Amino acid sequence: MYDALNESEWERVDQVWDLLDDAEIERARVEANELLRRRPRHPDLLVLDAAVAIEEGDPDRALDALRGAERSADPALLFHLRALARFHRVDLEAARVDAEKALAVRPQLAEAHALLSRVHELLGHEEEAQNHMESAFDIDADTFPLPLEVNDEAFDQLVEKSLAELPDAVRKHLEEIPVVVEPLPRRELLVAEQPPLAPDLLGLFVGRHLLERGHGDVPSGPGAIYLFRRNLLRACRDAEELAREVRITVQHEVGHYLGLDEDELERWGLG
């Protein structure tokens, strides 16, 4: 048994949540660690630890923390965070089960509806995905707006414009590699890396970048640059933001193909 957190401790917990909302992840980690140092393995603090770990891109740490958090004061949040960690591990079926448990405890948890929408979308369950997306919007329209509606032709034009704006020295290297727009990343693409890639990624380069190739290499498939249309549409609030995000994603993945680091991206006009 663990004693309940006192009022002062709950205030500090709320402060960590505020830091996460403001994307101050490093400060949130420092504060969460300090709380855990004073109250080791406290279930409510393990839930907080898991939330910070997810924002740090470490779903395995989050799952480990949640194994000791079963007595948390907020089981809906525990189930939701476990679902989110499993989603990032591309364990979609388990994520679905946990998100449904969260909603069984708290049916109006918008975050769980939004997550279930993304899980069902990746599983190919279009109707369920749409229903949960609309539920999240109905509960909290500001946080979970409906995705932009842009037809395939208009989206492809944004991609083509972004490619046309690349410097000449960069475009000549793209003649041998396709730029592919897909609705969502396929599971096999995500789990080809360990740990798996996040299912909500916006773009991906697959293959050997130019700096890894030598003159004596045996010819092989050139790989591809992928852009994931639905993830991009979900990430943007308006057409202007979408155009900017498509351009940034194209430049970023082209940079990966060229084997450039952050400083080199600037020199090539891709920063």
Residues with Cβ within 8 Å of residue 60, at least 6 apart in sequence: 85, 89, 195
Rounded CA separation 49/36 (Å) = 8
pTM: 0.90
Between CA 265 and CA 271 the distance in angstroms is: 5
CATH class for domain 7-139?
mainly alpha
Give the tens place of pLDDT for each residue, 10-27.
Answer: 999 999 999 999 999 999
Tell me what pLDDT residue 207 has. Answer: 85
List phi, psi (to 5°) of 225: -105, 125
Residue 163, pLDDT above cutoff 60:
yes
Give the mean pLDDT of 169-182.
87
Q: Going along 139-223, which residue ranges are E strands?
A: 179-182, 203-206
pLDDT in the model for residue 260: 77
Domain boundaries, the chain: 7-139, 152-267
**Phi, psi angle pair for 87, to nearest 5°:** -60, -45
Residues ≥6 apart with Cβ < 8 Å to 20: 28, 51, 52, 55
Query: pLDDT of 124-141, one tens digit each?
Result: 999 999 999 999 999 999
Whole-angstrom distance, CA of residue 246 vs CA of residue 253: 11
Could you confirm whether domain 152-267 is CATH 3.30.2010.20?
yes
